[in-house]
């Protein structure tokens, strides 16, 4: 009897010690949050998800090339007896190798005991293997200026020579050949494949002297440089904005989506009701609203309280309102819709801000000419105007409105559990494809449904914004590990859409992010749209964006503000919300 108890106690102790050991190892692991070069790695040693002093690790006893133009690697190039151009190409491969292997991964460190003013020296252990050893075995790492594996090195060099890379100067928006002296001295430049050049990039007139169509221009034609951003289907118009085109926001109503808003404000005769998360005083829009008021149009606004610091100009539009109401700071009033004369609405993911009005961020906006739809939105609006927000609101009965060939069903959070009760059933019944351009995805059950759809043969693809690559509840890693392709965008603007396209049949679009708070606590609105033509149009736009984002971002993330996020180091925007802009940000300095 006692021996049985002893065995049980020993078993518990063994399990406990194993658990403690596992926890000790787990806590000793650290995340890689930045790759300066393949041998200079930024690791989050203190767990605050930011790069701080003394968090740079240098790999000893191995050398590599890099495509970072600011790094002096003349001695290694001389030892390898290759051209500067081939060195840059080989460095580009090595950068990708390191980023794919390490970035956003949990690693252990084996310190050598030495350090200098710039970094601590260590080897990095990833999946129980030495990173230094992996570099040497790949043919991309060198010891004393020489390769230890000639065959592997020659394979890598042959692959590098085939790459068609250019130098893109963010500041001037010029692109250069790899041997162009003007490109090599550019302060704000990166190496990218020619096919990824932004639409507005122009060839350097000194290094692109051939008047015929050069190879770079040929490659650019493999991906359309732009996509039609509006489609009309009778009473419903859909507007999209493209973050790959406009690399700097303006205080102008530049996008077609904004022009539709401006047009409806100018046509309003009686009322303009606005539910807004935040407001920037874009002159054309702001002045049009003041003119509408001067001709007797009544302006009513409900708005969010929590983001006054980020949208300080919200108070200006509130001053102009005849009636207004706001929620508390605990949850978000995250709607973005307008109702005109109680018979037309504009809704979607677009904030009423400069970054969205000008087309800098990617959004989906819908104009619906329907008094029936407007009345549904008006019922929701007037509840909030009366002071009822979030769960204090009454539930609005679901109603599908048919406008020609388009069926529209509005839903409102938090009373409608739209992800759980409406979106997931559509995911479960999908047969061909599910495409999602989204700002963030953290909803557990939605992620699980997408994984099941992938497992039964549905083509599932997701484009996610770089800002949320490192979100604590992000499902990127879980989805990727389950075989769902997730691309992280690499442009200055945000993928701000909150959309799902299914089987050339359904579109889900609105203000709601795919999160628990979006479904259960915030004030949000979403539409389920059933329309083959609109769904096909949105699907083709998604495929266009998918092709423009490099495939390497299927495996790794990218800094929202950094040189590989195109345009983010010269757009004047704090892209990652850390209080630092452009070259002040660590990602741009590196």
Q: Annotated catalytic sites, by residue?
A: 334, 336, 341
Indicate the burial class of 250 (C-beta count within 10 angstroms; 0-12, 13-18, 19 or more): middle
CB 326 within 8 A of CB 358: no
Phi, psi of 384 (to 5 degrees): -70, -40
Structure tokens at 560: 């929202």
Residue 447's Cβ-side half-sphere holds a number of Cα atoms within 13 Å equal to: 21
Residues 6+ apart with CB under 8 A from 1: none
What whole-number distance in Å separates Cα of residue 357 and Cα of residue 282? 8
What whole-number distance in Å separates Cα of residue 380 and Cα of residue 411? 10
Neighbours of 477 (CB within 10 A): 12
The number of angstroms, rounded, from the C-alpha of 97 to the middle of its chain's C-alpha atoms is 22
What whole-number distance in Å separates Cα of residue 237 and Cα of residue 524? 21
What whole-number distance in Å separates Cα of residue 347 and Cα of residue 368? 8
What whole-number distance in Å separates Cα of residue 94 and Cα of residue 75? 17
What whole-number distance in Å separates Cα of residue 447 and Cα of residue 445? 5
Across the beta sheet with 174-176, what order do the strands follow?
189-193, 165-169, 174-176, 202-203
- Residue 430 Cα distances to 423, 426, 546, angstroms: 11, 6, 20
Three-state DSSP state, 211: coil
Q: What's the alpha-carbon Rg for the chain, to the nearest Å? A: 27
CA torsion sign for 518, 524, 528, 534 is: negative
Phi, psi of 95 (to 5 degrees): -55, -45
CB 142 within 8 A of CB 76: yes
Across the beta sheet with 506-510, what order do the strands follow?
401-403, 406-413, 524-530, 506-510, 500-502, 433-438, 459-464, 486-488
DSSP strands (E only) in 451-505: 459-464, 486-488, 500-502
Q: How many residues does the chain have?
A: 590
Closest CA to 68 of 46, 82, 88, 53: 88
Closest CA to 340 of 233, 258, 256, 267: 267
What whole-number distance in Å separates Cα of residue 93 and Cα of residue 6? 58
What whole-number distance in Å separates Cα of residue 344 and Cα of residue 322? 20
Residue labelled with tokens 């949320």: 468
């Amino acid at each position: 009897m006692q021996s049985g108890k002893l065995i049980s106690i020993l078993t518990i102790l063994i399990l406990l010690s194993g658990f403690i050991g596992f926890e000790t190892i787990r806590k000793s692991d650290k995340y890689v949050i930045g790759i300066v070069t393949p041998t200079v790695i930024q690791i989050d040693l203190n767990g605050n998800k930011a790069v701080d002093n003394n968090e740079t690790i240098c790999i000893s006893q191995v050398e590599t090339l890099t495509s970072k133009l600011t790094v002096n690697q003349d001695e290694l190039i001389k030892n390898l007896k290759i051209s500067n151009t081939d060195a840059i190409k080989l460095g580009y491969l090595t950068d990708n190798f390191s980023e794919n292997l390490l970035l956003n991964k949990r690693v252990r460190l084996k310190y050598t005991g030495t350090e200098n003013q710039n970094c601590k020296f260590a080897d990095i252990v990833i999946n129980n293997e030495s990173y230094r050893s992996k570099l040497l075995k790949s043919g991309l790492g060198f010891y004393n200026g020489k390769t230890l594996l000639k065959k592997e090195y020659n394979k890598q060099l042959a692959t590098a020579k085939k790459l068609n890379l250019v130098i893109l100067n963010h500041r001037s928006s010029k692109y250069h050949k790899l041997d162009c002296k003007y490109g090599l001295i550019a302060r704000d430049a990166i190496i990218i494949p020619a096919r990824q050049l932004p639409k507005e990039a122009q060839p350097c007139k000194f290094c692109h002297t051939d008047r015929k169509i050069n190879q770079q221009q040929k490659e650019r034609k493999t991906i359309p440089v732009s996509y039609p951003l509006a489609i009309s289907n009778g009473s419903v118009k859909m507007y999209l904005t493209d973050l790959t085109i406009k690399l700097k926001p303006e205080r102008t109503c530049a996008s077609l989506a904004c022009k539709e808003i401006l047009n409806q404000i100018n046509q309003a005769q009686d009322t303009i009701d606005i539910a807004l998360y935040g407001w920037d005083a874009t002159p054309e829009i702001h002045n049009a609203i003041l003119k509408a008021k001067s001709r007797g149009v009544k302006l009513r606004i409900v708005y969010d309280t929590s983001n006054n610091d980020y949208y300080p100009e919200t108070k200006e539009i509130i001053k102009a309102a005849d009636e207004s109401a706001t929620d508390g700071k605990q949850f978000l009033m995250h709607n973005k819709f307008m109702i005109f004369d109680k018979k037309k609405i504009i809704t979607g993911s677009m904030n009423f801000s400069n970054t969205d009005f000008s087309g800098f961020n990617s959004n989906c906006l819908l104009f619906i000419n329907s008094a029936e739809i407007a009345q549904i939105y008006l019922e929701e609006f007037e509840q909030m105007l009366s002071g009822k927000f979030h769960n204090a609101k009454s539930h609005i009965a679901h109603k599908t409105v048919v406008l020609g060939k388009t069926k529209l069903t509005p839903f409102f959070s938090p009373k409608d559990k739209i992800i759980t009760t409406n979106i997931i059933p559509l995911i479960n019944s999908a047969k061909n494809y599910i495409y999602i351009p989204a700002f963030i995805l953290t909803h557990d059950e939605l992620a699980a449904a997408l994984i099941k759809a992938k497992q039964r043969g549905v083509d599932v693809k997701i484009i996610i914004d770089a800002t949320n690559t490192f979100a604590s509840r992000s499902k990127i890693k879980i989805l990727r590990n389950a075989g769902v392709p997730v691309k992280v965008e690499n442009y200055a603007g945000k993928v701000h859409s909150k959309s799902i396209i299914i089987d050339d049949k359904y579109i889900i679009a609105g203000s709601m992010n795919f999160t628990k708070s979006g479904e259960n606590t915030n004030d949000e609105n979403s539409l389920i749209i059933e329309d083959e033509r609109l769904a096909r149009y949105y699907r083709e736009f998604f495929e266009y964006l998918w092709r423009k984002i490099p495939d390497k971002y299927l495996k790794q993330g990218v800094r929202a503000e950094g040189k590989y996020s195109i345009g983010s180091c010269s757009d004047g925007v704090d892209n990652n919300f850390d209080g630092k802009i452009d070259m002040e940000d660590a990602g741009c300095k590196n």
